[in-house]
Amino acid sequence: MRNPKNLQQEFWDNHNNRQKLNRSICSNSDVEVKKINEYQLLIIHIPRATRTQRPVYINNNPMTGTYKRNYEGDYRCHKEEIEQMFRDASNEPQDFQVLDNFNLNDIDPDTLKVFRQRFSNREPDHPWLAYNDQQLLHQLGGWRRDRNSSKEGLTVAGLLMFGRERSILDAFPHYSLDYQEKLSDDPEKRWTYRLTLDGKWEANLLNSYYRVYGRLINNLDVPFQLDKDAVRKDETHVHEALREALVNTLIHADHQSSRPIKLVKSIDGYLFSNPGRLRIPLQRLYEGGTSDPRNPHLQKMFQMLGLGEKAGSGFGKILRAWKEQQWLSPLVSEKLDLEVTSVNLPMTSFIPEAVEVELKRIIGDAYRQLGDLDRIILVLAHQFEEISNTDIQRYRSEHPRDISERLRNLVQNGWLHQSGKCRGTRYTLPNQNFSAQLSLLPSSEHYPPSSEHYPPSSEHYPPSSEHYPPSSEHYQQLEAIAEPIRRKGRISKDSVRKVILELCSQQYLPLGTLAQLLGREPDTIRNHYVNPMIDEGLLELKHPQLRNHPQQAYRTVSRSHFLSAQDE
């Protein structure tokens, strides 16, 4: 613009107007004007609001005026997301609330007995061991008397740590823990073992920890270590890291969320996922030394058993263990659309042979000409499905500008796909290689060239399959199912989800097929529909061991299959 002063003044007027914006988060240094030739560019940097500042909303109404950035658009937050922000903004610990109408009868006596025994083994002379159950719970933060209201009873921490499953669900109807083992190469097997709430055990946090940890380390194939006396130590730093990851997932979860705690052990690594965003900046987590627990009393209970770190050093132990094994470094990510934090612990070398073979197949002879940084970027995209410039910086020492240049080059060559803008830019490997049996697409000349949603020249189209010509009766049936979505520019999200479930009800369909049938961009289908529906258990992967598999495809989970899976 030629004269940005008026617009700059308008921004500050609205920014500082409490009738428009509930909280000012920009400072003078966040707004600047840069001259480019005869024009001037107004640059506004919006810093991330801290947990105590959120939610930031407009027009005096948090329920209708709170938005979040998701790729290239701003989307209104759901009520549950806003309530979660308010919970995190409070300095009152989430686990210290006294629960109405809950008492010692809601505690599982066997769980509390296990805690006493393990506590006694670690601290045999501790004075708390002489207390009765209520007194012990009081010292741990599991029983409390509110000094303001004189209300006394079981706390959130006490119920979650030691409670009966039915009592926990009475207080937190969405409470859920889902542990899965995916140790088979058979894509038809969604898991080889599963532990969830099924009424066969008291699924409180203490029992969950001991049941899951034993399976996490079972058959853990890492070299043993020797102690100072040259005696073999059965526990390695990897064991310690898995213990930290599991404890952190349990104690940092927002247990009032409708999202489950999800733990996955696979052939090539582990995934720990808990509801709730990080309460400290991601960089602080990697640096260590900063702790801001969502549930400090749960943390204390685990620490009394020697589990979990308080000084913010727990994640450092995970990084150390993975570095010692020369595995890909752990990656922490936040899914803003789901309000979930995930820790991915890959047990693969930096450039696994199988991954390199796959990348060579995708890129061809040009792979040999790639530099070291280019290869690392592609490996990270292969391993983590979706990466950013910031993610790459955790593995490389190059300047962010140099990384950006290499990313642009990889995108220009078609070896990476870019979505989003500015700090929200993400990169994925293109889904450009689908087997003939997966591809249901006709050739591009049969796709309406006027489609505003999906141009026929799109690089995302997989090659057409000779096994499914344009006149294929089955493909025409799919087109008929998707036609209401394809013809309309705007349609409800629920309607799109229902059509996706119907399209995928008979066979696995790849992303490109879904995108063309629905007349939408692949990124839109992946980020707003497919990924959430996988997380909700509505869709299953053809290649569950590798979400970004070049021949990945999706199929609807039948209701009978879904219900039986819940019973396993």
> Does residue 12 lie in a domain region?
yes
For the domain that residue 316 is a member of, what is the CATH number? 3.30.565.60
* Residues 372 and 329 grouped into a single domain: no
Q: How far apart are CA 331 and CA 272, in angstroms?
A: 11
- Which two three-digit tokens encode residue 137? 């719970």
pLDDT computed for residue 255 by the predictor: 94
Of 140, 171, 202, which closes a domain?
A: 171
CB distance 226 to 232 below 8 Å: yes
**Could you give the 3-state DSSP secondary structure of residue 488?**
coil
Q: How far apart are CA 348 and CA 269, in angstroms?
A: 7
- Which two three-digit tokens encode residue 255? 């247990």
Q: How far apart are CA 279 and CA 290, in angstroms?
A: 10
Of 330, 346, 362, which closes a domain?
A: 346
* Residues 415 and 276 grouped into a single domain: no
> Does residue 475 lie in a domain region?
yes
Q: How far apart are CA 60 and CA 19, in angstroms?
A: 6
Q: How far apart are CA 58 and CA 188, in angstroms?
A: 48
Angle between helices 109-122 and 205-216 (to 10 degrees): 60
- Which two three-digit tokens encode residue 450? 């006027």
Q: Is the peptide bond before 55 cis (omega within 30 degrees of 0)?
A: yes
> Does residue 96 lie in a domain region?
no
* Residues 508 and 452 grouped into a single domain: yes
Distance of CA 454 to the CA centre of its chain: 28
Q: Which residue(s) pair with 40 in the sheet?
A: 35
The CB density around residue 204, as the number of other CB atoms within 10 Å, is 24
- Which two three-digit tokens encode residue 69? 């950035």
pLDDT computed for residue 489 by the predictor: 65
* Residues 398 and 368 grouped into a single domain: yes
Q: How far apart are CA 343 and CA 253, in angstroms?
A: 13
Q: How far is CA 349 from CA 27, 269, 532, in A?
A: 44, 11, 29
Overall pTM > 0.85: no
For the domain that residue 413 is a member of, what is the CATH number? 1.10.10.10
Q: How far apart are CA 323 and CA 346, in angstroms?
A: 11
Q: How far is CA 174 from CA 87, 165, 169, 465, in A?
A: 16, 12, 7, 44
CB distance 314 to 285 below 8 Å: no
> Does residue 437 lie in a domain region?
no
Block means of pLDDT (10 residues each) for the chain, 568 residues, are: 86 95 94 86 91 93 89 79 90 91 97 97 96 97 91 96 98 96 83 94 97 93 58 76 96 93 94 93 85 93 89 85 85 84 87 74 79 87 86 84 92 88 83 34 32 35 35 74 82 90 90 86 86 89 74 78 45
For the chain, how many structural domains are there in total? 5
* Residues 119 and 240 grouped into a single domain: no
Q: How far apart are CA 189 and CA 512, in angstroms?
A: 24
For the domain that residue 473 is a member of, what is the CATH number? 1.10.10
- 177-182 vs 261-266, strand pairing mode: parallel
Q: Which domain holds residue 217?
A: 177-346
> Does residue 435 lie in a domain region?
no
Q: How far apart are CA 547 and CA 342, in angstroms?
A: 15
> Does residue 400 lie in a domain region?
yes
Closest alpha carbon to 40 in 31, 52, 28, 30:
31
The CB density around residue 79, as the number of other CB atoms within 10 Å, is 10
* Residues 212 and 227 grouped into a single domain: yes
* Residues 321 and 185 grouped into a single domain: yes
* Identity of the residue numbered 239: H
Q: How far apart are CA 115 and CA 119, in angstroms?
A: 6
Angle between helices 400-412 and 372-384 (to 10 degrees): 80
pLDDT computed for residue 454 by the predictor: 36
- Biggest CA–CA distance in the chain, Å, is 80
pLDDT computed for residue 81 by the predictor: 87
> Does residue 438 lie in a domain region?
no
* Residues 262 and 363 grouped into a single domain: no
Residue showing tokens 């601290």: 123
**Could you give the 3-state DSSP secondary structure of residue 16?**
coil
Q: From the DSSP assignment, how many helices (H) and strands (E) are in the chain? A: 22, 18
* Residues 261 and 316 grouped into a single domain: yes
* Residues 200 and 328 grouped into a single domain: yes
pLDDT computed for residue 311 by the predictor: 66
> Does residue 503 lie in a domain region?
yes
* Residues 324 and 188 grouped into a single domain: yes
**Could you give the 3-state DSSP secondary structure of residue 542?**
coil
* Residues 287 and 195 grouped into a single domain: yes
Of 301, 329, 346, which closes a domain?
A: 346
Residue showing tokens 């995916």: 182
CB distance 251 to 245 below 8 Å: no
